[in-house]
């Protein structure tokens, strides 16, 4: 924007006692130099480059379809990670974050893999851990937004921007697991279906397989990500690439010498499959669409479509609304006050219910205690009466024994008296006999 002068047309306003009129003959203001607001895009670019970017990819597919190899091939980097096994009891999501640098642009790349997906005998609930993971990332971002002191400029956005759904190269039709999973995920993430290891089937079979997959996705109402065509600069290429979905890809980190160049390829006994040869597979198309052309749109769609849907549903569940029953604007403060009053009313109601319940429980407990006290008194009276009866019996028995003892003593005394009298009588007779003998 290097013009020298500019004419400003303004509406009829009054400032400082001077009237400015719209129309011909408006004053032309000379500029001393370059205006400079055409540098605003450069300022935004510089700021974004200094802050860096983040991009999160989720790879969903059965074990052994080459998900890790394709990621290594896409970014021309060997990402470290543990190999997945077929012995997982359930689906586990493994997330790894890497810091990449290309020229002066930094990218914080997060790759989420679904370990054990499709390996279980019962695959009915295989999609649930994936849905829960996606919702957890949305919830974390929502909680950060709802904070009083937000730090979104430094917050690591872990929301998934694209889901690469790996389809096994069967050549027939989609598995029910694939259809069900994509149907559950299409409202939460941008899905790009890809046919993994597409060199396993012939060209003619591959073409028919693509048509079959597209037909089944449409008939089952699965909404996959469509490359945007509203921007004139990319409308043509995106419109062409939409017709190539799903992409048939081959991944390889091995480099082979083909002609005079070293190229990434897969060597077979019957020939060589070149990864970056568009006649062999759609790897180049996927890389162009995913990284070079539509990466920002994927990020934007994640925020404006999928996250907004989650946020709206979550806030509606919490009771927040944009309009009242009369379709009038409803401010956040009014919503908060209404929700707060509703909550306080429910709290008071529950408090009253708990108080009534407490009073009722106290009354019931008092009745139980009174009944128990009555039973104890009755038991005490029974034991007391029983004790008195036993005591009376013992006293009667003691009296009887005392009478027997007294009678025994009387008999004993009489017997001793008789014995002593008998002894005295016997002694007098003996003395009399002795006297007679002496005579």
* Domain carrying residue 343: 331-390
pLDDT, residue 20, reads 44
Asked if residue 363 and residue 231 are part of one domain, the reply reads no
Q: Quickly state the pLDDT bin for 343 (edges 50, 70, 90).
A: confident
The β-bridge partners of 15 are 18
Asked if residue 216 and residue 111 are part of one domain, the reply reads yes
pTM for the model = 0.70
User: What region does 271 belong to: left with phi over 0, alpha with psi -120 to 50, or beta?
Assistant: left
- Asked whether the predicted pLDDT for residue 348 surpasses 70, the reply is yes
Asked if residue 310 and residue 215 are part of one domain, the reply reads yes
Asked if residue 347 and residue 314 are part of one domain, the reply reads no
Average pLDDT of the chain, as a whole number: 85
Distances (CA, A) of 214 to 59, 164, 177, 238, 354: 20, 16, 16, 17, 58
Q: Quickly state the pLDDT bin for 30 (edges 50, 70, 90).
A: low
Asked if residue 132 belongs to a domain, the reply is yes
Q: Which pLDDT tens digit goes with each residue over 97-117? A: 999 988 888 999 999 999 989
Distances (CA, A) of 48 to 107, 206, 307: 11, 41, 22
Asked if residue 296 belongs to a domain, the reply is yes
Domain-ending residue, one of 318, 351, 372: 318
Instruction: Please state the domain count of the chain.
Output: 2
Asked if residue 335 and residue 301 are part of one domain, the reply reads no
pLDDT, residue 361, reads 92
Domain-ending residue, one of 390, 408, 433: 390
Asked if residue 412 belongs to a domain, the reply is no
pLDDT, residue 430, reads 72
Asked if residue 7 belongs to a domain, the reply is no
Residues 338 and 346: their CA atoms lie apart, in Å, by: 12
pLDDT, residue 120, reads 81
* Pairwise pLDDT comparison (61 vs 90), residue with the higher score: 61
Asked if residue 417 belongs to a domain, the reply is no
pLDDT, residue 5, reads 39
Contact present, 109 and 134 (Cβ < 8 Å): no
pLDDT, residue 342, reads 83
Asked if residue 234 and residue 344 are part of one domain, the reply reads no
Residues 128 and 180: their CA atoms lie apart, in Å, by: 11
Any residues with CB less than 8 A from the CB of 11 and at least 6 apart, and which? 22
Residues 322 and 185: their CA atoms lie apart, in Å, by: 27
User: What region does 182 belong to: left with phi over 0, alpha with psi -120 to 50, or beta?
Assistant: alpha
Contact present, 22 and 12 (Cβ < 8 Å): yes
Task: Give φ, ψ of 208 to 5 degrees.
Answer: -65, -35
- Asked whether the predicted pLDDT for residue 284 surpasses 50, the reply is yes
Asked if residue 104 and residue 63 are part of one domain, the reply reads yes
Asked if residue 358 and residue 257 are part of one domain, the reply reads no
Q: Could you give the percent of the chain with pLDDT greater than 90?
A: 51
Q: Domain containing 231 — which CATH number?
A: 3.40.50.300
Q: Quickly state the pLDDT bin for 309 (edges 50, 70, 90).
A: very high
Asked if residue 84 and residue 188 are part of one domain, the reply reads yes
Asked if residue 261 belongs to a domain, the reply is yes
Asked if residue 399 belongs to a domain, the reply is no
Asked if residue 406 belongs to a domain, the reply is no
Asked if residue 81 and residue 146 are part of one domain, the reply reads yes
Burial profile 230-249: b = 16 or more Cβ within 10 angstroms, e = fewer: eeeebeebbeebeeebbbbb
Asked if residue 368 and residue 231 are part of one domain, the reply reads no
Asked if residue 294 and residue 359 are part of one domain, the reply reads no
What ranges in 98-202 are assigned the alpha helix state H? 128-145, 176-185
pLDDT, residue 4, reads 40
Contact present, 151 and 158 (Cβ < 8 Å): no
Q: Quickly state the pLDDT bin for 34 (edges 50, 70, 90).
A: low
- Asked whether the predicted pLDDT for residue 237 surpasses 60, the reply is yes
Q: Which pLDDT tens digit goes with each residue over 14-24? A: 444 444 444 45
Domain-ending residue, one of 291, 318, 345: 318
């Amino acid at each position: 924007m290097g013009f020298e002068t500019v004419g400003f047309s303004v509406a009829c306003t009054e400032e400082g006692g001077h009237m400015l009129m719209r129309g011909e003959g408006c004053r032309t203001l000379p500029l001393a130099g370059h205006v400079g607001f055409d540098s605003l895009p450069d300022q935004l670019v510089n700021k974004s480059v200094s802050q860096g970017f983040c991009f999160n990819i989720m790879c969903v597919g059965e074990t052994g379809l080459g998900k890790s190899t394709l990621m290594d091939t896409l970014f021309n980097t060997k990402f470290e990670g543990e190999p997945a096994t077929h012995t997982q009891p359930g689906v586990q999501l493994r997330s790894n974050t890497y810091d990449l640098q290309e020229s002066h642009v930094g990218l914080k790349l997060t790759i989420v893999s679904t370990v054990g997906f499709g390996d279980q005998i019962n695959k009915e609930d295989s999609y649930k851990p994936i849905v829960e993971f996606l919702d957890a990332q949305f919830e974390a971002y929502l909680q950060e937004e709802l904070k009083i002191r937000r730090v979104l400029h430094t917050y690591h956005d872990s929301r998934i921007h694209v889901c690469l759904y790996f389809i096994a190269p069967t050549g027939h039709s989609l598995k029910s697991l694939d259809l069900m999973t994509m149907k559950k995920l299409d409202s939460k993430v941008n899905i790009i279906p890809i046919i993994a290891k597409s060199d396993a089937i012939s060209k003619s079979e591959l073409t028919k397989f693509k048509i079959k997959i597209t037909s089944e996705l449409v008939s089952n109402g699965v909404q996959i990500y469509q490359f945007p065509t509203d921007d004139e600069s990319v409308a043509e290429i995106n419109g062409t690439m939409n017709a190539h979905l799903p992409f048939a890809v081959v991944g390889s980190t091995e480099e082979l010498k083909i002609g005079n160049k070293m190229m990434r390829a897969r060597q077979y006994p019957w020939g060589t499959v070149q990864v970056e040869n568009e006649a062999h597979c759609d790897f180049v198309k996927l890389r162009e669409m995913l990284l070079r052309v539509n990466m920002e749109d994927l990020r934007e769609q994640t925020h404006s479509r999928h996250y907004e849907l989650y946020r709206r549903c979550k806030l509606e569940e919490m009771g927040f609304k944009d309009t009242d029953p009369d379709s009038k604007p409803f401010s956040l403060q009014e919503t908060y006050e209404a929700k707060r009053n509703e909550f306080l009313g429910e709290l008071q109601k529950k408090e009253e219910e708990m108080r009534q319940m407490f009073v009722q429980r106290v009354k019931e407990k008092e009745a139980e205690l009174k009944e128990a006290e009555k039973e104890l008194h009755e038991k005490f009276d029974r034991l007391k009466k029983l004790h008195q009866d036993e005591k009376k019996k013992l006293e009667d028995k003691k009296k009887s024994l005392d009478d027997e003892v007294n009678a025994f003593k009387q008999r004993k005394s009489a017997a001793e008296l008789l014995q002593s009298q008998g002894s005295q009588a016997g002694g007098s007779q003996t003395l009399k006999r002795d006297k007679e003998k002496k005579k």
